[in-house]
Amino acid sequence: MSERYDVLVVGAGCAGALASERIAREGYRVLLVDRRRPEELGHESCDMVEDEALTQAGLNAASLTTGPSRVTGLEVISPDTATTVRLSEIPFRIVDRRLLATTLLARAREAGVQVLTQCTVGGVEVDRGKVIGVITDRGAYSGRLTIGSSGLDRVLCRDLPSGMGIPRRLRTSDFISVYRETRNVSHEHGAGLQSGSYRYHVGLYGGYSWTYTSEDGTLDIGTGVQDVPGNPDPREIVLGYVRSHPEVGERVISREGGRIPTRRPLSTMVTNGMLVVGDAACQAAPVIARGVGGALVGAMLAADTATASLEADDFGVDSLWSYNHSYMMERGAHMAALDCLRLLMQRMSDKEFSWGMGKKVVDEAEISSALTGRFAVPKAMTKLRTFFKGLGGVPLLVRYENSLRNAQKVFDHYLAYPARYYEGDFADWSQQADILFEDAERV
């Protein structure tokens, strides 16, 4: 007989660790499983994370890094480098991903979560259309509720029988490939670099690149490129940057690569007996592919629904539905609308991007909205109308206007996400969402 828990959580990344802690604090028996060793959780690097999400999760950003956690400057540079937009408000903090992982794991343990590391989950156990547990290389575990938080592997989703609602596979183009290196700053040429400052270079192969100079004398260089055939390897872009910038030193302190799902939210993140959170549920911000903030917010909302369902002893789709609804209201509608802009950006040429930034068609307001994950179309629309008076026939303006219109429709549609689960209503809602995104992809 497999051991039975109230909740099984698969994946001890930021989403899984935070969700399990919150549920255990309510007095439930939680098992958190990860295939890695505890010291391998997180990443070997410092990440830029949404400040608001850290605060909501009760995390003190200053204690999550050995260096300064404040980002002192954030600049976005056009592909032709002629235009730089400086953000006046920077809602991000620098977080050491190993420290974040250790902190969240310690908090989970302290709340009573049983942690099982070096244990690989192979799939779900389903009985009469309901997830009742997981199968691992150490045996089977059963739970009243299962949470899938295995990041982009989406091991539980991939193993679901068809017809259980949560999409099993994502398209390749729903991912961005990321590569980054941390290097020393050259003693000889690096004197002019401003520390604590992020620089984003946009419009490269449907992605972006960034550099961050830390006060400890290191330089983080990274690139994200949409995962579609023909796009270059992001590693080559980073190495090209290194070769052409003498301020970047020779010594590689760390390097890592990976993929991040960057797309609209899943139409549903719940099925009978199971819900998904974090990268597994595509909760990263689509334009900049930052996923920690989304994973933390998703985890908190998932934990709220899980505890209510445990209390009611009801794990059917209708009981778990409040997670879908609260996520769409709090974050998902913004992410879906911003995904329309991501689709436009990934199709814009470098020339169009540079022109748009040079003419201030895309300015601080839009860039700030895209980076912070808050969709703010009315201002952009008003501004666009003034551009049309002077530059009416420019194809990019027409596409941008169409994109904003689509984004507004998508935003409204996601805000009208069904508050309760009725199969027919949800099918209508999903079909309409697909139609809206077909339009968005045509821009």
Ligand X SMILES: Cc1cc2nc3c(=O)[nH]c(=O)nc-3n(C[C@H](O)[C@H](O)[C@H](O)COP(=O)(O)OP(=O)(O)OC[C@H]3O[C@@H](n4cnc5c(N)ncnc54)[C@H](O)[C@@H]3O)c2cc1C
Among 3, 75, 80, 256, binds ligand X (CB under 6 A): 256
In the complex, minimum distance from the CB of residue 201 to ligand X, in angstroms, rounded to a whole number: 15
> What's the CA gap between 47 and 56, in Å, rounded?
18
Rule CB under 6 A: is residue 297 a binding residue for ligand X? Answer: no
Residue 306 or residue 380: which is nearer to ligand X going by CB? 306
Contact stretch for ligand X (CB under 6 A) within 59-67, 241-249, 254-262, 265-273: 254-262
Q: How far is the CA of 114 from the CAs of 34, 310, 344, in angstroms?
A: 11, 18, 45
Taking the least distance from each CB to ligand X, the nearer of 155 and 164 is 155
Q: Does residue 47 bind ligand X (CB under 6 A)?
A: yes
Binding of residue 125 to ligand X (CB under 6 A) = no
Stretch 376-405 residues interacting with ligand X (CB under 6 A): none
For 96, the token pair is 């050491």
Which one of 143, 291, 356, 373 is in contact with ligand X (CB under 6 A)? Answer: 291
424 three-state secondary structure: helix
The H or E element spanning position 372 is helix 364-372
State yes or no: residue 64 binds ligand X (CB under 6 A): no
Output the smallest distance, CB 20 to ligand X, in A: 11
Residues 141 and 133 sit within 8 Å (Cβ to Cβ): yes
Q: How far is the CB of 320 from ligand X (least distance, A)?
A: 18
CB-based burial, 273-309: b 16+ in 10 Å, e otherwise? bbbbbbbbbbbbbbbbbbbbbbbbbbbbbbbbbbbeb
Do 175 and 291 contact (CB within 8 A), yes or no? no
90 interacts with ligand X by CB under 6 A: no
Binding part of the chain for ligand X, among 60-68, 256-264, 374-382, 396-404 by CB under 6 A, reads 256-264
Query: Are the CB atoms for 87 and 3 separated by under 8 Å?
Result: no
Region near ligand X per CB under 6 A, out of 102-110, 287-295, 310-318, 435-443? 287-295
Q: Which of 16, 143, 356, 373 binds ligand X (CB under 6 A)?
A: 16
Among 7, 9, 15, 266, binds ligand X (CB under 6 A): 15
Q: Among 23-31, 33-41, 339-347, 361-369, which window interacts with ligand X (CB under 6 A)? A: 33-41
* Residue among 30 and 260 whose Cβ is closer to ligand X: 260
Exposed (0-12), middle (13-18) or buried (19+): which is 235, by Cβ within 10 Å? Answer: middle
C-alpha to C-alpha distances, 84 to 37, 200, 288, 350, nearest whole angstrom: 43, 9, 17, 15
Residue 155 or 248: the one with the smaller Cβ distance to ligand X is 155
Binder among 19, 33, 266, 436 for ligand X (CB under 6 A): 33
Question: How many Å apart are CA 131 and CA 316, to the nearest integer?
Answer: 10
Q: Minimum Å distance from CB 356 to ligand X?
A: 25
Tell me: does residue 373 bind ligand X (CB under 6 A): no
Helices (H), 188-291: 234-244
Query: Is the distance from CB of 21 to CB of 104 less than 8 angstroms?
Result: yes
Is the CB of 157 or the CB of 367 nearer to ligand X? 157
Question: Tokens standing for 54?
Answer: 């850290």
Start-end of H helices in 330-376? 333-347, 350-358, 364-372
Residue 67 lies near ligand X (rule: CB under 6 A): no
Q: Is 270 left (phi over 0), alpha (psi -120 to 50) or beta?
A: beta
Task: Say which DSSP state 81 is in.
Answer: S
Name the amino acid, one letter, at 92: F
Number of residues that bind ligand X (CB under 6 A): 37
**Residue pair 111/27 in contact by the 8 Å Cβ criterion:** no
In contact, 150 and 121? CB cutoff 8 Å: yes
SS3 132: strand
Query: Is residue 343 within 8 Å of 440, Cβ to Cβ?
Result: yes
Among 8, 9, 12, 341, indicate the residue that binds ligand X (CB under 6 A). Answer: 12
**Per rule CB under 6 A, is residue 13 in the interface with ligand X?**
yes
To ligand X, the closest distance from the beta carbon of 145 in angstroms equals 17
Q: Which of 22, 107, 144, 180 binds ligand X (CB under 6 A)?
A: 180
Of 120, 173, 184, 197, which one interacts with ligand X (CB under 6 A)? 120
Question: By C-beta, is 14 or 361 nearer to ligand X?
Answer: 14
**Shortest reach from residue 90's CB to ligand X, in Å:** 14
Sites of contact with ligand X (CB under 6 A): 10-16, 33-36, 41, 47-49, 120-121, 149-151, 153, 155, 178, 180, 256-258, 260, 278-280, 284, 290-293, 295
